[in-house]
Chain A
Amino acid sequence: MKTLALFVVVITGAMLIYAGQDLPAFGDINSPSYQAPMTQYFIENSRTESGVTNIVTALLASYRGYDTLGETAVIFTAGMAVILLLRRRER
């Protein structure tokens, strides 16, 4: 069982390393994700559009605000689920 698990893990890792050869080098300024038009747009326009200097906050609360609302709902739901699971016996 353990050898089978090790075999599966090594095969997965080898596949990932083979696939990772095409990824951009570490710290490469020409990487596709950095040269993408949206990334440059966020860096240039987040100050004027959302008024905050932290680009990550501008992305999180303004451009992706709906996603962040869902994320807050996820953590709220997790808290309520733990309360439902563990506080049931006290009553």
Chain B
Amino acid sequence: MSGIIDIVYAEYNYWIYVTLMMIGFYAMIAKKNLIKKIIGANIFQTAIFLFYISLSDITDGTAPILVGEHGAEHAEHAADVIYTNPVPHCLILTAIVVAVSTTAVALALIIRIYQEYGSLEEDVILAARRELQPEFSEHARQKSVAEVGEQ
């Protein structure tokens, strides 16, 4: 029993990220509101960021900035300092910027959709779209598939 607790405690950070990711994933696929979908996508991305950053952590490690370059007071310890892993930090800095860009473009698209359809609910938008463009409706699509099949 204590073995299981030890295993869970050593990897509790992964449980947190999986939970966060599930929250974001659920918001993305179950919510009908487009803004809520974007919020879900952002929670999902944050879970991935935290996962990578926690992979880079080392117990008793310091930030990956070289010690002993700015003054003499810490220079004698410079040899035996443990640095955390700098590579995931760099990757996630890239990923955060891409996340900001995708969120901005998604919000701009949502504003345009709201201007066109007057709603942010997925059902309302799809219904309005079927009325405006009947060729996109399910019935018409099946009919055209049937026609192609007859030929």
Contacts and interface: CB of A to CB of B under 8 A. Distances in A.
Complex A–B touching at CB under 8 A:
yes
Interface string A27-53: 111010110001100110011000001
A33 B19 CA distance: 24
A86 B111 contact: yes
Interface of chain A, helix or strand or loop or mixed?
helix
Interface residues of B, number: 49
Contact of A55 (B22, B66, B109): B66
Interface in B54-86: 54-59, 61, 64-66, 69-70, 82-83, 85-86
Contact of B93 (A31, A34, A56, A75): A56
Nearest to A43: B83
Contact of B11 (A9, A25, A71, A77): A25
Contacts, number: 132
A89 to B, nearest CB: 8
B29 A8 contact: yes
A45 B146 CA distance: 66
B106 to A, nearest CB: 10
Interface of chain B, helix or strand or loop or mixed?
helix
Given A74-B97, A86-B108, A5 B26 contact: yes
Interface of B: 7, 10-15, 18-19, 21-22, 25-26, 29-30, 54-59, 61, 64-66, 69-70, 82-83, 85-90, 93-94, 97-98, 100-102, 104-105, 108-109, 111-112, 115
Interface of A: 1-2, 5-6, 8-10, 12-13, 16-17, 20-21, 23-29, 31, 33-34, 38-39, 42-43, 46-47, 53-56, 59-60, 64, 67-68, 71, 74-75, 77-79, 81-82, 85-86, 89
Given A2-B30, A31-B55, A59-B87, 15 more contacts: A9-B25, A26-B10, A26-B11, A26-B54, A27-B57, A43-B86, A46-B66, A55-B66, A55-B86, A56-B89, A59-B86, A59-B90, A60-B94, A71-B98, A75-B97
7 contacts: A17-B14, A33-B56, A39-B87, A60-B94, A79-B104, A85-B111, A85-B112
